[in-house]
Each structure stands twice: as C-alpha cells, then as structure tokens.
C-alpha cells in the first residue's frame, strides 16, 4: 500500500486469477465468489432479484454458460424473446421478483439488465455471480451488449472492446473502501473478443476492435457540451476526443472497467460489444432516425446470437 492506494487486492491478498483460468488448473472453471463471510451464512437473499440461496430451484442455473447483460430492462426482455424465437429455445418467465432488474433464461443463456453506470451494474454482477456460484455453474462467459458513443467511427458501427480505460487512461477499476483508493485490473478476454469480432465480419456487419473509455457520468465525464453544467471549452472537448482516438479508444460508455474488473475477480471470461449511435467527433446528441436506431440496436445482438448458437451447437 502506498498513499492510500491498493492495487488489485482483495482482503489483503492479490487477485491472481484471470478471466477463464483458475490458477492455471485444468478442468471446469467455476464461478468464484471469494467472500469468506459467505461460508458462515446459512442463507443469502439476493435482494435485487428476490431469489434465495436456499431456494429449491437454485440448481436450475447450473447449466448457464453465457450471461448476456446490458442497461435496459425492456431491451433485454426483447432480446431474450427474440433469441428464443430464433433458436427455438423456450423462454422462461421473468425470474426476477424485484422491479430493479429483469432476468430471463433460454436454455444455457441468461439475459439480465443492469441499469446505467457501474454502481447499478455492480449490484447486478454481485448477485448474479453469487447465484451462479451457489448453482455451481462452470465455464461461464459474460457478454455486455450495449449502445455507446463512437470515437472516430460511423454511427451503426459495432465496437468489440479489446480493452478498457478509466478517466485517467488506466486499465483499472477504482473503488473507495475503508477510506482507501482500491484499484483493480480491468481486462477482458482476448479470445472471446476475437470470436465476437470474427462473427461480426462473417455476418457482414460493420465492426471494429478498439479500447473503450468508461466514464463516470454521461455528460462532463464524456466531455459533452450539452449538460446542465460545463466548465471547459469546445476546444478542450475536441482535444480530449483526439487524445482518446490516439490511445486506441473507439467508443465511450459507463460500465466497461467495472464489468471487466468484477468478471475477472469471478474467474469468468468477459466481452463487451456495443454499437456506436453517433461519432462524438461530430457532435454530442443522437440524431439518427428511429428506424436506424432500432436497426443499429440489433446489430450487436445479432452478432452475439450467432456466436451463442455456434456455442450451443458444440455443447
């Protein structure tokens, strides 16, 4: 520890796991919830889903291999039902009894929304990770499907993230715990990113690889000029966006570093695939026609669906 900053530690121990591996051992890779206090609790109520650890159907999640998640509850209900229709797999009812999140199951695939920003998403991830841990699910991949602002890419381009950056251009997720700044690695699985990218190419969908900037808010953190407050100039904005592009950033959203960090700690593969709704170099507001918005919104979903169907066929 130095200057109140802890790098990549949990309860004083370094986090040595990487996405898709468990200390280099072979065999099934189980979803990890490493909190030692969980072992002393006979019950654990996943409050924001209304699901209990001791529920008789907790083991029904054991077969989950892919968790698809993103911000909007309505969008993920639509995605789950469309995937079920396209693949011929029955769609469950909404398995969440809370109004905070929705959860649908289509065979080995779970569809969950997470709200906007890392704080909301972290609640979902904590509880879904524990759910799959209790269910003894193994070899699970998490894929975040979303919308974003592009940096130097045309609207409608799907960006498959090959890395994440915070507002200081670090591949880290920052938390404040016990009056300390805790920074943890925020890295994604490169093999999963390549598979998603290659699937997009095969489908003929405009797709790019690139870094993703995770902002802490929608307006000032993304250097927009149209928020209620703004204490920088248009020149400052374009200088910042130009610097992003030089660092390989191709899109901006509000979840990437947290998503990469939490999934890494849980020992699962993780990928992020988002469509750009605008090129931030050309403006701050989404002005595309509604029909184009719907078409663009389905592009990352179509890539993920093709990827999942190939995986299911190989199970």
Residue 267: CATH number of its domain: 3.40.50.1580
Residue 23 lies in a domain: no
Q: What is the reported pLDDT for 10?
A: 39
- d(CA 46, CA 52) in angstroms, rounded, equals 6
The residue range of the domain holding 39 is: 33-139
Contact residues for 100 (Cβ-Cβ < 8 A; gap 6+):
48, 49, 115, 123
Whether residue 219 sits in one domain with residue 309: yes
**187 token code pair:** 């890295």
How does residue 11 score in pLDDT terms, banded at 50, 70 and 90?
very low
Which of 56-65, 119-128, 190-199 comes out lowest in average pLDDT? 56-65
Secondary structure of the chain in the HEC alphabet?
Answer: CECCEEECEECCEECCCCCCCCCCCCCCCECCCCCHHHHHCCCCEECCCCEECCCCCHHHHCCCCEEEEECCHHHHHHHHHHHHHHHCCCCCCCCCCCCCCCEEEECCEEEEECCCCHHHHHHHHHHHHHHHHHHCCECCEEEEEEEEEECCCCCCCEEEEEEEECCCCCCEEEEEECCEEEEEECCCCHHHHHHHHHHHHHHCCCEEEEEEEECCCCCHHHCCCCCCCCCCCHHHHHHHHHHHHHCCEEEEECCHHHHHHHHHHCCCEEEEEEEEEEEHHHCCCCCCCHHHHHHHHHHHHHHHHHHHHHHHHHC
263 is in an annotated binding site: no
Mean pLDDT confidence for 288-312: 96
Q: Is 100 annotated as a binding residue?
A: yes
**Is it the case that residue 122 has pLDDT exceeding 90?**
yes
Check whether 140 has a pLDDT greater than 90: yes
Q: What's the pLDDT at 208?
A: 97
47 and 95 in a single domain? The answer is yes
Give the whole-angstrom CA distance, residue 308 versus residue 214. Answer: 26
The yes-or-no verdict on residue 1 having pLDDT over 80 is no
Give the pLDDT of residue 14: 35
Do 180 and 67 have their domain in common? no
Question: Do residue 153 and residue 297 come from a single domain?
Answer: yes
With beta carbons less than 8 A apart as the criterion, state whether 125 and 259 touch.
yes
Domain end point (choices 139, 173, 202) = 139
Count up the domains in the chain and report the number.
2
What residues are paired with 103 via a beta bridge? 112
Tokens of 59: 């083991």
What are the tokens at 37? 């206090």
Model confidence band, residue 25 (pLDDT cutoffs 50, 70, 90) = low
Note the pLDDT of residue 18: 41
299 assigned binding-site residue: no
Share of the chain above pLDDT 70, in %: 92
222 appears as a binding residue in the annotation: yes
Q: What does the pLDDT look like over 209-267, one tens digit per residue?
A: 999 999 999 999 999 999 999 999 999 999 999 999 999 999 999 999 999 999 999 99
For residue 4, being part of any structural domain is answered with no
Same domain for 159 and 284, yes or no, is yes
- Is residue 20 very low, low, confident or very high in pLDDT (cuts 50, 70, 90)? very low
90 assigned to some structural domain: yes
70 is in an annotated binding site: no
pLDDT at position 15 over 50: no
Structure-block tokens of residue 272? 């992020």
Residue 102 placed within a domain? yes
> Within a domain: residue 60?
yes
**27 found inside a domain:** no
**Do 159 and 278 share a domain, yes or no?**
yes
- Of the two residues 65 and 7, the one the predictor is more confident about is 65
* Domain membership flag for residue 16: no
Are 158 and 294 contacting, i.e. CB atoms less than 8 angstroms apart? no
Average pLDDT over the chain, rounded to an integer: 92
> Does 187 have pLDDT greater than 60?
yes
Q: Classify residue 19: in a domain, yes or no.
A: no
- End residue of a domain, out of 74, 108, 139: 139
Q: 301 with 161, same domain?
A: yes
Same domain (yes/no): 132, 172: no
One domain, residues 197 and 285: yes
Spatial contact of 89 and 106, defined as CB atoms under 8 Å apart: yes
Report CA-CA distances (Å) from 188 to 98, 165, 194, 256, 284: 30, 11, 11, 9, 28
139, 158, 185 - which closes a domain: 139
The whole-number average pLDDT for the span 45-61 is 93
Identify whether residues 135 and 158 lie together within a single domain.
no
C-alpha angle 116/121/123, rounded to 5°?
A: 130
Are residues 263 and 208 part of one domain?
A: yes
Most confident option among 1-10, 50-59, 144-153: 144-153
Residue 100 and residue 161 share a domain:
no
pLDDT at 17: 39
Q: What pLDDT is recorded for position 252?
A: 98
């Amino acid at each position: 520890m130095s200057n109140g900053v802890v790098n990549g530690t949990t309860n004083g121990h370094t986090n040595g796991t990487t996405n898709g591996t468990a200390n280099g051992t072979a065999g099934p890779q189980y979803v990890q919830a490493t909190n030692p206090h969980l072992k002393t609790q006979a019950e654990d109520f996943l409050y924001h889903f209304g699901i209990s650890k001791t529920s008789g159907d907790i083991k029904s999640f054991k077969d989950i291999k892919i968790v698809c998640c993103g911000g909007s509850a309505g969008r993920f209900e639509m995605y789950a039902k469309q995937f079920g229709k396209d693949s011929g797999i029955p769609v469950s009812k909404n398995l969440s009894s809370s109004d905070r999140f929705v959860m649908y199951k289509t065979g080995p695939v779970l569809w969950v929304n997470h709200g906007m920003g890392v704080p909301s998403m972290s609640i979902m991830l904590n509880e879904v990770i524990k759910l799959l841990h209790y269910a003894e699910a193994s070899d699970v991949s998490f894929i975040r499907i979303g919308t974003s602002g592009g940096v130097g890419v045309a609207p409608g381009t799907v960006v498959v993230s090959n890395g994440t950056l915070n507002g200081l251009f670090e591949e880290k997720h920052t938390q404040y715990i016990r009056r300390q700044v805790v920074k943890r690695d925020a890295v994604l699985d490169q093999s999963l990113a390549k598979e998603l990218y290659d699937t997009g190419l095969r489908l003929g969908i405009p797709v790019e690889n690139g870094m993703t900037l995770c902002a802490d808010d929608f307006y000032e953190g993304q250097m927009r000029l149209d928020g209620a407050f703004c204490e920088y100039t248009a020149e400052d904005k374009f200088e910042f966006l130009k610097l992003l592009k030089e660092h390989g950033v191709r899109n901006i959203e509000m979840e990437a570093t947290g998503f990469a960090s939490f999934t890494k700690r849980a020992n699962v593969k993780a990928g992020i695939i988002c469509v750009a709704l605008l090129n931030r170099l050309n403006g701050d507001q989404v002005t595309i026609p509604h029909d184009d918005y719907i078409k663009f919104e389905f592009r990352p979903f179509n890539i993920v669906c093709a990827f999942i169907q190939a995986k299911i066929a190989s199970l």
